[in-house]
Amino acid sequence: MEADNNDSFVFFNLTDQNVSEINGRLNIVANHWYDYGKIQIPLYCIIFMLAITGNCLVILTLVQNKRMRTITNLFLLNLAVSDLLLGVLCMPFTLVGALLRDFIFGEFMCKLLPYLQACSVSVGVWTLVAISVERYYAICHPLRSLRWQTVNHAYKTICTIWSGSFICMSPIAMLSKLQPTNQGHHKCRENWPSLEFEQVYNILLDIVLLVIPLLVLALTYSLITRTLWKGIRREKCFKHHEVSGKEVTQFYLNRSRSAISKWEYCIQEPSEGRKLRYSSAQDLSNSSRYRKPGKGLRRTNAEKSLINKKRVIKMLFAVVLEFFICWTPLYVVNTIALFQPSIIYSSIGYTGVSFFQLLAYTSSCCNPITYCFMNCGFRKSFLNLFQCMKKFQENGGFVLGHTSEFNLDVKSASKNSTEHALSP
């Protein structure tokens, strides 16, 4: 199948069953492939550069700045590593295979690259799940989560995610092999004992990587939204009671002043009455004034905490939405292709499948852009990092004597921006 050669080793491989039924359609699609390649090449290059640059910035920012190493940020660091791995191992090799219509990287790379690509996707999905669970306990059950919500527990969770991904994707490494095609070309595919085994495994992957994460994310973020909504209503109620308390205080203050003004007529010495009236009114006003700042300060801190939580949840929700918008079409297409391949090629064609692949790779560059636009802490840290790198280059580049000075500059420059880290 000639048109199948350029689909080097996508994580979810389209089946080769019923090739004779769809061979004619593939030849028609292949005639239009070169025109699409003119658009595909610059798109791959743009997404690749954005993914590498953006995720490297996120990693450098979180590694250099110790104050930003909160639990949520550690998970975001792990997500950036998986996105970087996906960008490095997916896009260049897929683009080369698409252009040459041949997998030219050998048997070992045929086993390694699809395996690491699949692991990076799994790590990204379950890191998003870990973030949602961590945010759920931090916002909905803050006291219950104090015992285990630590940085060490976050590291253990990250190690568990990677270990589980390596085990879950091990069949891909064992079964991926080079398969010869016409004209002396090769394709990298999974050689399953039977179609039934491949169908069962891919359905299990759909459940583990799509259905279960979607259910967990929907449940946790809906509960978080409900809790934050209750907090907003409670805050409005507190403001209402605070206004009512001010009115009551003013009422009693005015009442006391009127009583003092009546009582001063009974005093023989007018000067003493004025002195007593002044001191009594001043005591009342001072007592009310002394009670306000503490409440106002607590109310201000509560409002800031609530605003920060809402911003973090909005950003995390955007990250989750981007991930599933990018990956769900490819999941669905490859699952349908396992059972009815003719439907895929007759309805969307190979160009459509390639577009869904490119859309999936776009997820690797979306997160840094989201952090930059939706979190001022990351935005300031990115700008500070650029300023420090510029200063470092002006001082003579990568000179050994200036390395420690550069590290100190990065840490000191980003010190002010860590107050906006994702730790509401």
Please count the other Cβ atoms lying within 10 Å of the Cβ belonging to residue 132: 23
Decide if 157 is inside a domain. yes
- Residues 320, 132 contacting (CB under 8 angstroms): yes
Decide if 131 is inside a domain. yes
Distance of CA 418 to the CA centre of its chain: 18
Q: Residue 212 has what pLDDT?
A: 95
Give the length of the chain.
424
Decide if 7 is inside a domain. yes
Residue 45 has pLDDT above 70, yes or no: yes
What six digits make up the tokens of 340? 């009815």
Q: Please state the rounded mean pLDDT for residues 390-418.
A: 46
Decide if 61 is inside a domain. yes
Decide if 263 is inside a domain. no
With pLDDT > 70 as the criterion, what percentage of the chain qualifies? 65
Q: Residue 323 has what pLDDT?
A: 84
The band of 421, judged by pLDDT with boundaries at 50, 70 and 90, is very low
pTM for the predicted model, two decimal places: 0.70
Q: Residue 24 has what pLDDT?
A: 46
Decide if 402 is inside a domain. no
Decide if 257 is inside a domain. no
Minimal CA–CA distance to 77: which of 116, 130, 114?
A: 130
Residue that the structure tokens 């010495």 belong to: 269
The band of 349, judged by pLDDT with boundaries at 50, 70 and 90, is confident
The band of 298, judged by pLDDT with boundaries at 50, 70 and 90, is low
Q: Residue 18 has what pLDDT?
A: 44
Residue 29 has pLDDT above 50, yes or no: no
Q: Residue 37 has what pLDDT?
A: 62
Residue 112 sits in a domain of what CATH number? 1.20.1070.10
Burial 403-419 (b: 16+ CB within 10 A, else e): eeebeebbbebbeebbe
pLDDT digits (tens, 9 = 90+) for 247-271: 545 554 555 555 444 444 444 444 4
Decide if 109 is inside a domain. yes
- The count of domains in the chain is 1
Q: Residue 154 has what pLDDT?
A: 93
**Highest-confidence segment of 94-103, 129-138, 234-243:** 129-138
Residues whose CB is less than 8 angstroms from the CB of residue 75 and which lie 6 or more positions away in sequence, other chains included: 127, 130, 131, 134, 154, 157, 158
**Highest-confidence segment of 285-294, 323-332, 349-358:** 323-332
Higher pLDDT, 39 or 330: 330
Mean pLDDT of the chain: 73
Higher pLDDT, 387 or 338: 338
What six digits make up the tokens of 323? 């991930």
Q: 356 lies in which domain range?
A: 2-231+311-374
